[in-house]
């Protein structure tokens, strides 16, 4: 019987289905990989991949099929075909964070999170487009051009992990690994109708993740289901001698947690998320419907307000631009990255290499961060934001002393049109783009875990996301409630 | 206006970036817009609040300081725009 490659998108929306069929012998890893490669070819116009590893993926699949046939042991992710956001180091493969700054760069080592997936026999099918250095909410700052949303190719996929979200949405791989600094996994997941998980800060090693803002950055999976995100988290999480901020707490069986019936929970929801006129009406209605369904299922769901809601984004942008200006100083045209052809002395070499290599949003954020850290303004901006960050964390801690989860829409609007908020025209206001992250940044500001799951669609058919945030290291109960809501 | 042309050029120098004269107007506009928006934080009373420096509860998770060859020299030099067998190379900095 001829293998219909559309099965990879139309049917395999959870890894347990893939594994069951692999065990039953009704499909092979090679057929899966060929199916995804065919889908990738069909969907070139979505601009998801910056590089496809077709031959390598086929070889790994053949090797897995051989081991399967010979009854040799295989890893827990055998048959899982994944993509990597172009910010994760994968030895011997290109890596350039959606930037011309790193044209031709080849990774010399493998990120800890990626290595753990490879060790469990995941197949990496390629690296995926993203906003330049993960700075953006629409994937339009990428030097490779924007990714297009498969639900409507005239619309953005969200960002910065836009390629990762569309890859899962369009069935170009089963899951993808992104990074989330202010919503970069959850916001595109919401725009594309898939599931995205940002773990607790420090749950997954950042070794091998290109740094944007180190006290915010998290590696996070995107997949169709909370269960698949839980499995990927379980494998990537845990201690690592190369990251001094990673947690040594034991890694729980997150994937098993999604199969347990959850006890009645105390859930807070952001009043603004269902009442504010700034939130799209169909998103407010969808959120309200989920709240009603959760109550009907026996959970306690109560409205709350955050007094510091308006301070979240300014705090986030002061601190992340400051950290970015420091982190991106490493791109100096000396050890790696773009070097200008014009410089005659060292200072000029730095300046011209950086100015030529970075795109406009990255340069804007470096300038903002440099300003916030400059001697005359350090206390007024940087220290002030660090103080407000503590107040936000204290308010969040008080909230989570009373509730298990905080629920809200993931985004205030569905996917917007390409070019609508680029900030590239002199009249554009970059703030319009920044506001897309209003509900997602809190989790990064306080370091808590959060997940975005699909929550229906707008009348135009655009996906809507629902976000749940939990206490630090409560990922097991977070993925369990997310799976329960998915199954409601 | 927080940032004028002179401040912009000073920040650009500190950031090792060049701002061309034709970019100045747009950058001044967007930087000042964002900075004004950031000043909402001045409405929050932070008297006596200790700045939050570290977000991880597990700070400085250290390992033994054992000698290991993590990145061989040839690999460390592999992505350099200009290098010899041993060193990264840059334009002459002294006469």
User: Is the CB of A201 less than 8 angstroms away from the CB of B55?
Assistant: yes
Beta-bridged to residue A269, according to DSSP, are A303, A407
> CA-to-CA distance for A429 and A421, rounded, in angstroms?
8
User: Is the CB of B41 less than 8 angstroms away from the CB of A384?
Assistant: yes
Containing domain of residue A153, as a range? Answer: 5-257
Residue A422 lies in a domain: no
**Which tokens is A456 given?**
């229906």
DSSP state string for A184-197: TTHHHHHHHT-EEE
Residue B13 lies in a domain: yes
Cα separation values, A70 from A15, A16, A33, A80, A399, Å: 22, 22, 20, 19, 54
User: Is the CB of A384 less than 8 angstroms away from the CB of B46?
Assistant: yes
Residue B36 lies in a domain: yes
**Contact list, A370 vs chain B (CB under 8 Å):** 11, 14-15
User: Is the CB of A239 less than 8 angstroms away from the CB of B41?
Assistant: no
pTM for this structure? 0.96
> CA-to-CA distance for B95 and B41, rounded, in angstroms?
49
The one-character DSSP state at B62 is: -
User: A297, exposed or middle or buried, with CB in 10 Å at 0-12, 13-18, 19+?
Assistant: middle
Residue A192 lies in a domain: yes
Residue B18 lies in a domain: yes
Evaluate the omega torsion of the peptide bond into residue A160 and state whether it is cis, within 30 degrees of 0.
yes
Kindly state whether A487 is in contact with chain B, defined as any CB-CB distance less than 8 angstroms: no
Q: Which of A129, A119, A47, A116 is nearest to A84 (CA)?
A: A129
Structure-token match 């290499």, residue found:
A353
Residue B72 lies in a domain: no
- Kindly name the residue from A137, A160, A247, A452 that is annotated as catalytic: A160
Q: Give me the mean pLDDT over the B68-85 stretch.
A: 92
Which of A108, A202, A386 lies at the smallest CB-CB distance from B52?
A386
Query: To which H or E segment does residue B21 belong?
Result: helix B21-38
Containing domain of residue B32, as a range? Answer: 5-42
Digit-by-digit pLDDT tens for chain A (488 residues) are 456 767 666 788 999 999 999 999 999 999 999 999 999 999 999 999 999 999 999 999 999 999 999 999 999 999 999 999 999 999 999 999 999 999 999 999 999 999 999 999 999 999 999 999 999 999 999 999 999 999 999 999 999 999 999 999 999 999 999 999 999 999 999 999 999 999 999 999 999 999 999 999 999 999 999 999 999 999 999 999 899 899 999 999 999 998 877 789 999 999 988 999 889 999 999 999 999 999 999 999 999 999 999 999 999 999 999 999 999 999 999 999 999 998 889 999 999 999 999 999 999 999 999 999 999 999 999 999 999 999 999 999 999 999 999 999 999 999 999 988 865 554 456 677 777 889 999 999 999 999 999 999 999 999 999 999 999 999 999 999 999 999 88
**Tally of structural domains, chain A:** 1
Give Cα A257 distance to the centre of its chain.
22
Cα separation values, B43 from A68, A238, A442, B33, B38, Å: 63, 40, 19, 17, 11
Kindly state whether A342 is in contact with chain B, defined as any CB-CB distance less than 8 angstroms: no
A14 assigned to active site: no
For residue A221, give the CATH number of its domain: 3.90.1300.10
**Which tokens is A143 given?**
């030097």
Q: Which of B56, B73, B89, B93 to mutate to test the interface with A (most CBs of A within 10 A)?
A: B56
**Tally of structural domains, chain B:** 1
> CA-to-CA distance for A130 and A202, rounded, in angstroms?
22
- pLDDT score recorded for residue B1: 61
> CA-to-CA distance for A151 and A157, rounded, in angstroms?
9
Structure-token match 């890894």, residue found:
A15
Residue B54 lies in a domain: no
- Kindly name the residue from A137, A142, A179, A184 that is annotated as catalytic: A184
A376 assigned to active site: no
C-alpha angle with apex A267: A298 to A397, nearest 5 degrees?
150
**CA end-to-end span of chain B, whole Å?**
42
Query: To which H or E segment does residue A284 belong?
Result: helix A281-296
Q: Which of A200, A369, A370 to mutate to test the interface with B (most CBs of B within 10 A)?
A: A370
Residue A54 lies in a domain: yes
- pLDDT score recorded for residue A3: 60
> CA-to-CA distance for A44 and A41, rounded, in angstroms?
6
The one-character DSSP state at A13 is: -
- pLDDT score recorded for residue A433: 74
**Which tokens is A128 given?**
């995926």
Task: Please name the residues between 48 and 107 in chain A that touch chain B, using a CB distance below 8 Å.
Answer: 104-106
- pLDDT score recorded for residue A262: 72
Three-state helix/strand/coil letters over A346-384: HHHHHHHHHHHHCCHHHHHHHHHHHHHHCCCCHHHHHHH
- pLDDT score recorded for residue B58: 75
User: Is the CB of B80 less than 8 angstroms away from the CB of A349?
Assistant: no
- pLDDT score recorded for residue A10: 73
- pLDDT score recorded for residue A432: 72
User: Is the CB of B80 less than 8 angstroms away from the CB of A335?
Assistant: yes
> CA-to-CA distance for A393 and A390, rounded, in angstroms?
5
Which of B12, B51, B93 lies at the smallest CB-CB distance from A390?
B51
Is there a contact between A156 and A414 (Cβ–Cβ < 8 Å)?
no
Residue B91 lies in a domain: no
> CA-to-CA distance for A305 and A486, rounded, in angstroms?
25
- pLDDT score recorded for residue B70: 81
Q: How far is A60 from chain B (nearest CA, A)?
A: 25
Residue B59 lies in a domain: no
């Amino acid at each position: 019987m001829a293998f219909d490659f559309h099965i990879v998108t139309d049917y395999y929306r959870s890894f347990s289905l893939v594994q069951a069929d692999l065990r039953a012998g009704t499909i092979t890893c090679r057929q899966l990989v060929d199916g995804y490669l065919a889908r990738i070819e069909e969907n070139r116009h979505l601009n998801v991949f910056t590089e496809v590893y077709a031959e390598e993926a086929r070889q790994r699949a053949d090797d897995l099929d051989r081991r399967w046939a010979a009854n040799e042991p295989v890893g827990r992710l055998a048959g899982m075909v994944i993509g990597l956001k172009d910010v994760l180091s994968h030895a011997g493969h290109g890596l350039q964070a959606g930037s011309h700054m790193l044209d031709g760069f080849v990774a010399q080592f493998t990120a800890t999170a990626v290595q753990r997936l490879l060790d469990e026999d995941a197949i990496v099918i390629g690296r995926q487009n993203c906003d330049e250095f993960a700075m953006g909410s629409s994937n339009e700052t990428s030097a490779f051009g924007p990714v297009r949303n498969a639900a409507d190719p005239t619309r953005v996929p969200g960002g910065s992990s836009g390629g990762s979200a569309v890859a899962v949405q369009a069935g170009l791989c089963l899951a993808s690994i992104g990074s989330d600094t202010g919503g970069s996994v959850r916001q595109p997941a919401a725009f594309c109708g898939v599931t995205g998980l940002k773990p607790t800060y420090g749950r997954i090693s950042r070794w091998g993740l290109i740094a944007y803002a180190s006290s915010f950055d998290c590696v996070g999976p995107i997949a169709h289901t909370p269960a698949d995100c839980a499995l990927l988290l379980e494998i990537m999480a845990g201690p690592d001698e190369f990251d001094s901020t990673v947690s040594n707490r034991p890694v729980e069986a997150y994937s098993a947690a999604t199969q347990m019936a959850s006890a009645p929970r105390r859930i807070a929801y952001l009043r603004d998320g269902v009442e504010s006129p700034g939130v799209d009406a169909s998103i407010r209605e969808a959120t309200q419907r989920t709240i009603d369904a959760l109550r009907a299922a026996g959970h306690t769901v109560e409205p709350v307000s955050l007094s510091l809601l308006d301070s979240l984004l300014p705090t986030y942008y002061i601190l992340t631009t400051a950290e970015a200006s420091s982190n991106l100083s490493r791109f100096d045209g000396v050890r790696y990255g773009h070097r200008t052809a014009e410089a005659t002395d060292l200072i000029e070499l730095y300046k011209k290499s950086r100015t030529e290599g970075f795109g406009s949003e990255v340069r804007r954020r470096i300038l903002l961060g440099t300003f916030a850290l400059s001697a005359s303004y350090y206390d007024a901006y940087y220290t002030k934001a660090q103080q407000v960050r503590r107040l936000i964390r204290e308010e969040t801690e008080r909230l989570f002393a009373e509730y298990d989860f905080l629920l809200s829409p993931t985004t205030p609007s569905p996917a917007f049109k390409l070019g609508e908020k680029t900030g590239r025209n002199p009249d554009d206001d970059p703030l319009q783009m920044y506001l897309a992250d209003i509900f997602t940044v809190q989790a990064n500001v306080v370091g808590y875990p959060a997940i975005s799951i699909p929550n229906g669609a707008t009348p135009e058919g655009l996906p809507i996301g629902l976000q749940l945030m939990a206490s630090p290291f409560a990922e097991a109960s977070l993925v369990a409630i997310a799976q329960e809501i998915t199954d409601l | 206006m927080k940032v004028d042309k002179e401040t912009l050029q000073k920040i650009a120098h500190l950031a090792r970036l060049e701002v061309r004269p034709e970019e100045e107007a747009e950058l001044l506009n967007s930087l000042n817009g964002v900075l004004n928006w950031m000043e909402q934080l001045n409405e929050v009373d932070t008297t006596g609040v200790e700045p939050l420096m570290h977000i991880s509860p597990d700070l400085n998770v250290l390992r033994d300081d054992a000698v290991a060859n993590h990145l061989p020299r040839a690999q460390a030099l592999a992505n350099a725009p200009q290098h010899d067998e041993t060193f990264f190379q840059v334009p002459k900095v002294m006469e």
